[in-house]
Each structure stands twice: as structure tokens, then as C-alpha cells.
Amino acid sequence: MEVADVKLLEELLIKEGIIYDPYSAEIDFEPAYEDLTSRTITMLQQTVEELSSTVDKLKRENKALKDIVMLGTDKLNVRGEDVEGDYYEKVPGLFSSLYSWVFRSMTTLLLKMVVK
């Protein structure tokens, strides 16, 4: 091929949009940049949504595994609640346990006194 043929072929390819001439003032890159930016943002949003969904799933799985471990160590009751609980939640339980122990002890003593 001669130089003239190559130039003619290059012009045809540029006109058809198959290749572009970076030195040509006719080419407008703005729509291409906007399209690329839009597609990039859309892909990033989809990735964030997928990651958020994965994080939620992992949190649920982590809680389930913690519950299994706590159940295995008898720190979880049958309703899935922490047996040890918060300190303030334990205080009423301690008082009721103390009350029932004192009541049983007093009842036992009274019964022993009555039987004698």
C-alpha cells in the first residue's frame, strides 16, 4: 500500500467512527466522559449495596454463631436471652432468690418447731 492509500483508509475509518484522530477539533469527548462517569457511579452504587447486604448477612450469621456458643456454654436460656444479662437485671433476681431461700428456711424451721 502506498502512503496515499493509507491516508485515504485512515480518513474513512475516522469518518465512520472506527478510529479517531486525537488532534481533530471535531471530536467531543464530553458525552463519552459523562457516560463513563455515570456507568462508574452506577457500578459503585451497586457494589456498595452488595457489600451492605453482605455485612448484614454476616452480622446475622455472627449473632447466630454467638448464640450457639452461648447455648453450648449454658449462658443462654431457651428463649435465646443472655442468662448472665446486665447487672441491673440480676439484682431483682438476686432479691427474689434470697427471699425464697429465707422463706423456705423459715418455713422449715417453723415446721420443725411445730412437729416437736
Give the tens place of pLDDT for each residue, 56-98.
Answer: 999 989 888 887 776 666 665 555 555 555 555 555 666 677 7
DSSP track, 53-102: HHHHHHHHHHHHHHHHHHHHTT-B-TTS-BSS--HHHHHHHHHHHHHHHH
* Range with lowest mean pLDDT among 27-36, 84-93, 106-115: 84-93
45 has pLDDT over 60: yes
Share of the chain above pLDDT 70, in %: 63
Each as own residue / partner, the long-range contacts of residues 86-90 (CB below 8 Å, 24 or more positions apart, any chain) are: none
Angstrom distance (rounded) from CA 61 to CA 76? 17
